[in-house]
Every structure is written in C-alpha cells, then in structure tokens.
Structure 1
Amino acid sequence: MTPRAPLRRVLVLDDFGDAAPESADWSGLPVTFLNEKLNEDDLAARLADADGVVLIRERSAFPATLLRRLPRLRLVVTTGMHNRTLDLNACDAAGVAVCGTPSLASPTVELTWGLILALARRIPQQEQRLRQGAWQEGAGLGLDGTTLSIAGLGRIGAGVAAIGRAFGMRLLAWSPNMTAATAEASGAELVDKGTLFRRADVVTLHLGLGPSTRGIIGAAELGLMRRGALLVNTARGPLVDQAALIGALQSGHLGGAAIDTHEPEPMAAGDPIREAPNTILTPHLGYVTQQNFRQYFGGATECLRAWNQGACLPRPLNAAARS
C-alpha cells in the first residue's frame, strides 16, 4: 500500500439540515461542515485547499470538470454505495480514492408508504380543511383490493411490495430488465410497461436514473392510467416528464401525485410543480432519518480515520481506493 499523508482539511458538503455534526463522532478529524448549496465555481473555490470531501448522496455533482480544479484532493467519501453524479473514472485518473458508506433501504420504503396513504386518504387536504373550520369533504381511496404498480423491484421496491401485500393490494411490477422470477419473489405479477400503468390504482417509482430512464414516464404512460389514479415518485424526479405530469394533474385525469425528488435540488423557487393541483411535495426526505444518517456519517468517519491511519479503506468504489 502506498504511504498516505494524513488529511489536513475535509469538507462535508450540503449539510442542509445541520444533521451531520450530531450523527457521528468527528473528534480528531479536520472537518468543516457546509450547509449551503454551491455552484461548481464556488465549490472549486471552497475546496481549493481541501484534501478530503464528504458528499451527502447526490446533492452536489462532482464531475470531471470540478475534479480537474482540485489538484490537492486525495479522498472522496460518498454516503451510500452509488452516486451517479460522481465521476469515478475521473477520480481514478486523478488518483483520488473514493469510498462509500452503509445505508438503509427502509427509510425510503417508509416515506413511500406515508405518501401513498396521504394521497389515497387525502390527508393534507382534509387536515387543512379542519384547520379552516370545515369538516369532511369527499371520500378517500381504500387500498385493500386495489392495484399497486411498482416500477423497479430493487431493495426499496421489494420493501414497498411487502407492505402492499400486507394492505391486501394486487401487485404488478415492471422495469426494463425485470424477470418473472424477480417479480414472483416479491409476490408481484410481471407485466409490460403499458399494462403496469393501465391497470394501476397507484403507481410507485423505484427505478435508477440514467440516459435510458430519464423521462421514461411521459404523456403516453400517464394517459394510460385510470382516471383518478395516483402517482408516487420517491426515486428520481427526472424519471417523469414534468410538463406531462402537470398537464395530467391540471386536467383532473390524474387523481394526485406525491413527489419527493426534484431537479434541481433544492427545488427552484419558480418550479411550476409548486402550483400543480393535488400534489404532495417533500424535499427529498426518502433517506433522511436519524438512523440512516448515523449509518452515513459513521461510515464516513470510518473512511477518514482509515485514511489517516494508513489502513485499507472500507467499501472502496474505485481502483485508487484499493491501491
């Protein structure tokens, strides 16, 4: 193993809720916490003298253009084990080691079901009416016997499916590469994309975002949904064509949408989704729990201390981290 100089300055980026300091033991580590969102030029300036950085999920992109402006950087820790906005090849080319941290799937599963229940029973609207002095209006959707369509059956999608079964829902599943065995293991029926939307009372999205899945749900898919059906997205905002989604909500064809992920993040002040009817909007809370942050930042401090001690880096994500 190549000898390593101890880290002198480490920045934890995008700690919007000031949660990182209390989520782990950072004692003895040269860490500074940043709680504002910075553009690439500002990041380059703030990180100019840093040799380590901790990324909270994908809140700040870390492309090759930024890495080239940070010649002192030696270590990147990304919370979780996947970060689509971090250029691992560029890190290897620059000799920058990258390691990940443990993470939990359960927080996003739980939030998904909180949003499904809030949409189905119209909890935000009914609560607001009560505060305004009114009483009940209309009737919500009971879930027992309805159809839950799940796009993506990874750790999160499978967890969502398990709870859907407990509610007595029929489960349909689809993703571009899903097999019948994968669907059957979660108690779901594998269907084609069109059928997934056509038969759904509730659609929940758990796909990864990439060139092939950006905008994968558009006007055609939303148009197939039953009038009054519900859409929940705790995966990635750009999976859905936003203009088509807003149109389906404004026309009343879609009964409601709950959206936890957006582009950009934090959400732009003028984002038109803010004005769309029958929506529940949350600020990317899927992974934001005390327990998951202890996993994230405890894993981050483990990586930083391993570096300073000259030990093997835990959970290496690129060749530079394994050398």
Structure 2
Amino acid sequence: MTIRVLAAGDHFVQNRLLIDAIRHAVPGEVDFRELTLPWPVVPFGRVGEVDEASDVEEELIEALRGVEVCVTQMAPLTKRVLDASPDLRLFCVSRGGPVNANLEAAARAGVAVTFAPGRNAVATAEHTLAMLLAATRRIPRTHADLAAGVWRGDYYTYDNVGPELEGNTVGLVGYGAIGRRVARMLEGFGANVLVHDPYVDAPNSVGLPELLERSLFVSLHARATPETAGLIGAAQIAAMPRGSVLVNCARGALLDYDALCDALGSGHLFGAAMDVFPEEPIPQGSRLLTAPNLVMTPHLAGASKETAMKAAAIVAADVARYVRGEPLAHVATP
C-alpha cells in the first residue's frame, strides 16, 4: 500500500534529508509531496494558537490535501490546519519539542504528533562550552579590537583577565540530555560540577541557592515551563560570586535580561554568553546590544549538520513504526 507523505522541510532540516531518511526507514512505496518553509531565512513566530512556527498556514493546508503523514520542523499545526486536513493521521515534528503543534486539537482530530528528543544535544552542549570559554577569555571582544587594528596590552592586566575552568565550580541548572553532556565536557577540563534539577536524580545535586552561591560559572539547561519562567532574576544573579560568568543556551524565558544587563554594567558579572533572548530577533534599542562583556549568537546553539540528519532519522523511524502499526516512540499527543 502506498502512503502519501508531505515533507515540509526548511533550509536547515531540508526536504532531501527527510525524504532520504524515510526512504531508508520505510519499506514499500511512498508518495512524497514537498513544501519548503522559509526558516531560518525568515524568523519563526506565533501562528494562530501555536508558537515558533513559519507563517505558512495557507500553503500547508493546500499541500496537505490527501496527505496522511507530514514530517516537518516549523510547519504550524493549528486547529485551522487540522480542520482542513481530514486525511492527516501523523504529524512528525523534527525538533526537541512540538511547540508548533496544537496537541489538544490534534488529539481531538485523531492526529498523532511526534517529536525528536535529543536531536541537538551534542551540538548545543558543544556550543555551550564554546560560549563559556568565549565569554571568560573575551575572545570576540579581543578579536574585534585586533580586526580594527588595535593591540590592547591592558587585556593582560590582572583585573581584566578571567578565571580558568580547572579547579573552579560550574553550576548546571537543568540536567537533561544537554546538561549531562556539558557536565562530561567540563569534567575533562578539570572543573567541579554542581547540578540543580528537581526532576532528575543527579550526582552532585544541590538546591538552586547553594548552586548559585558556590558556582563561579553558571549555565542554564532547563526547559521553559510556567515553573521555570524567570528562574534566574536579580536576586539569583546577586547571589552568584562577584566576577562570575552566566551562560544561557536554553530558553530566553528562564532569565531576567534587564537584571543581566544591570549585573554586567555594575561589574558583578565578569561576563555572560547568550544564545537565546526574550524577543527574537533582538529589537533595535535593546540594552543587550550595548551591554559590556556580553557574547551573543542568534539562537543557533543546536545548529550542526549532524543535528539536521539526526532530526530526519528520528522522525523517519516513527513514520516507519506508524506504517508497521507499531507504537510510536516519541508521541506527544495523548
């Protein structure tokens, strides 16, 4: 029996990766349709009632006519799309969480939604470590001076140099797939690692106040939930040792960015590195654009060729389970 699949990829998780992975995983005939979404050239946003999606409802509805399975990263599975797509039965989101899918509406419509946990764990862990080192050793700032023809010997003065990882304590807030990898990397540097995660039985686990008080470096790896919104604010940053470094490659909602800018401006924080922000893209006039000793990247910690290939392989495996009538491995709908 031929199954009709819509590959709604983008410029990162490309259609060719999705199609090749499904062809490898699914025996028999597959009738593919393709729709290329504009992300990341065009930023994602809120579409209808879902978040972090490409604004392509009209195009998606047209492409889903007669389609049973959709594999995508950024397509918006809204109630409107579901109502217009009676043949759809499986919607595979090739990212760590299906935030671009209305799970309740999908369940009512009899559509299973799957996702791809752990797809970017290695890339994000590596990027976190790179950001931590870049902020501590002030690599972007010194590079910019050299590129402008300025040699600043004062960077070598005692008050301007940063601490080493070896022998110092790094606190990880969140200990999932990414946090665990960061911990292993840090142990290779000779750092002492503390962990705060109320949902995980982790070694060297402590409460958040103790972690902040004892850690010269703090890196955020928690999920964005109502419980973790604003987890790190002015009081928490003030509890960190003076001269410490804060890194966030998780979610912008975890951190009070005004408090971050205040702490950088006062010198309480030696430096910080951010890959995620409260508003993306960062608006003109934001304090983040002028904050001292801040390293920033545009939400690309999880960006690697391997991430895209893993994402395609994970969703393709669930498409294969669906075709064989087996339980789905990473289903998000009830």
Report the TM range for the smaller structure's normalisation.
0.7 to 0.9
Tell me, in whole angstroms, the C-alpha distance in 1 between the residues paired with 2:77 and 2:288.
Answer: 27
- 257 and 302 in structure 1: CA distance in 2 versus 1, 3 angstrom threshold: same
Letter in 1 for 2:210: T
Q: What residue is the counterpart of 1:149 in the other structure? A: 171
Task: Give the deviation of 1:45 after TM superposition.
Answer: 1.8
Alignment counterpart, residue 7 of structure 1, candidates 4, 9, 24: 4
Task: Give the deviation of 1:250 after TM superposition.
Answer: 2.2
Q: What residue is the counterpart of 2:247 in the other structure? A: 232
Percent identity between matched residues is: 30
- 133 and 233 in structure 1: CA distance in 2 versus 1, 3 angstrom threshold: same
Letter in 2 for 1:117: L
Task: Give the deviation of 1:314 after TM superposition.
Answer: 5.0
Letter in 2 for 1:315: A
Alignment counterpart, residue 234 of structure 2, candidates 219, 226, 231: 219
Alignment counterpart, residue 246 of structure 1, candidates 232, 246, 261: 261
Q: Which moved more, 1:246-255 or 1:47-56?
A: 47-56
Q: Which moved more, 1:139-148 or 1:59-68?
A: 59-68
Superposed, 1:74-89 pairs within 5 Å as 74-80=89-95, 82-89=97-104
Letter in 2 for 1:120: T
Task: Give the deviation of 1:90 after TM superposition.
Answer: 2.0
User: SS at the partner of 1:112?
Assistant: helix
Task: Give the deviation of 1:34 after TM superposition.
Answer: 1.0
- What TM-score, normalized to structure 1? 0.81
Deviations 1:124-160 (A, max 9, x none): 1111111122234232322111110111112211111
User: SS at the partner of 2:195?
Assistant: strand
Alignment counterpart, residue 40 of structure 1, candidates 16, 34, 47: 47
Superposed, 1:50-69 pairs within 5 Å as 50-51=63-64, 52-56=69-73, 62=77, 64=79, 67-68=82-83
Task: Give the deviation of 1:293 after TM superposition.
Answer: 0.8
Letter in 2 for 1:95: G
Letter in 2 for 1:54: V
Q: What residue is the counterpart of 2:329 in the other structure? A: 315
Task: Give the deviation of 1:255 after TM superposition.
Answer: 1.7
Task: Give the deviation of 1:25 after TM superposition.
Answer: 4.1
Unaligned runs of 5+ in 2: 24-30, 49-54
Task: Give the deviation of 1:31 after TM superposition.
Answer: 1.3
Is the contact made by 1:40 and 1:66 (CA closer than 8 Å) also made in structure 2?
no
- 120 and 37 in structure 1: CA distance in 2 versus 1, 3 angstrom threshold: closer
Task: Give the deviation of 1:123 after TM superposition.
Answer: 0.8
Instruction: Give aligned pairs, total.
Output: 304
Is the contact made by 1:47 and 1:70 (CA closer than 8 Å) also made in structure 2?
no
- 60 and 229 in structure 1: CA distance in 2 versus 1, 3 angstrom threshold: farther
Is the contact made by 1:8 and 1:50 (CA closer than 8 Å) also made in structure 2?
no
Task: Give the deviation of 1:64 after TM superposition.
Answer: 4.8
Alignment counterpart, residue 123 of structure 1, candidates 126, 139, 146: 139
Task: Give the deviation of 1:270 after TM superposition.
Answer: 5.2
User: SS at the partner of 2:247?
Assistant: strand
Unaligned runs of 5+ in 1: none
Letter in 2 for 1:317: V
**Superposition RMSD on alpha carbons, in Å?**
3.0
Tell me, in whole angstroms, the C-alpha distance in 1 between the residues paired with 2:206 and 2:123.
Answer: 27
Letter in 1 for 2:14: A
Is the contact made by 2:248 and 2:275 (CA closer than 8 Å) also made in structure 1?
yes
Is the contact made by 1:98 and 1:317 (CA closer than 8 Å) also made in structure 2?
yes
Q: What residue is the counterpart of 2:187 in the other structure? A: 165
Tell me, in whole angstroms, the C-alpha distance in 2 between the residues paired with 1:95 and 1:314.
Answer: 14
Q: What residue is the counterpart of 1:20 in the other structure? A: 14
User: SS at the partner of 1:49?
Assistant: helix
